């Protein structure tokens, strides 16, 4: 699995960007160069039309504006097609207005390049990557398929990681935005 300090793989994928019957408005092509100059938070879920995944997608949608305010872009992904993503947005009211692109990693090239393909199940692991504007992975977490992530923890990690990369700040355990960083030797 790729980890901190590795380059995030190059990709070009179709994405569901809006719940719509108009396919020109529903889909967009996204690459690793999209959202240039921004931090990116990629989170992968195992499969559309499941039980834990919509709770996470909704939770990430709830923090999308704060991710943007911090200088980031949220991107979700699974091995499902953009058409399946769009159908799920239509079917599941909690997901209809999801405010971030859902990447369609059909065939799993990106998932495989990241090392997060669960070959036994043919799905992506429940993985999250925080990637800096230079395309370097700065933070990674992976959960089991049965356990949902806490998007607010990902947001906290994003803010702390940005502060560390930009200012060299060291963050204590359970650091919260606005709290002073650690000062070594004091």
Strands 72-78 and 39-44 come out as parallel
Residue owning tokens 């429940």:
126
Is-catalytic flag, 173? no
In whole angstroms, give the CA distance from residue 74 to residue 144. Answer: 21
Residue 182 sits at the vertex; the CA angle it makes with 181 and 186, to the nearest 5 degrees, is 140
How many Å apart are CA 53 and CA 116, to the nearest integer?
A: 16
For the chain, state the CA radius of gyration: 16
- CB count, 10 Å around CB of 11? 18
Q: Are 49 and 91 in contact (CB under 8 A)?
A: yes
* CB distance 13 to 103 below 8 Å: yes
Set 19, 52, 53, 77: catalytic member: 53
- Strands (E) in 46-125, as ranges, are 72-78, 102-104, 117-118, 123-124
Residues forming the active site:
53
């Amino acid at each position: 699995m790729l980890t901190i300090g590795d380059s995030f793989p190059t990709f070009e994928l179709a994405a569901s960007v809006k719940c719509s019957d108009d396919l020109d408005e529903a889909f967009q092509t996204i690459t690793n160069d999209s959202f240039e100059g921004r931090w990116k938070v990629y989170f992968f879920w195992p499969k559309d039309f499941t039980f834990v995944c919509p709770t996470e997608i909704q939770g990430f949608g709830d923090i999308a504006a704060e991710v943007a305010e911090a200088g980031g872009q949220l991107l979700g992904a699974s091995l499902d097609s953009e058409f399946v993503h769009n159908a799920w947005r239509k079917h599941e009211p909690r997901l209809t207005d999801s405010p971030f692109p859902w990447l369609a990693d059909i065939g799993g090239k990106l998932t495989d390049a990241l090392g997060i393909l669960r070959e036994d199940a043919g799905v992506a692991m429940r993985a999250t990557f925080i990637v800096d504007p230079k395309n370097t992975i700065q933070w990674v977490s992976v959960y089991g398929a049965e356990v949902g992530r806490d998007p607010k923890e990902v947001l906290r990690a994003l803010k702390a990681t940005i502060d560390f990369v930009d200012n060299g700040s060291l963050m204590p355990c359970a650091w919260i935005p606005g709290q002073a960083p650690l000062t070594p030797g004091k």
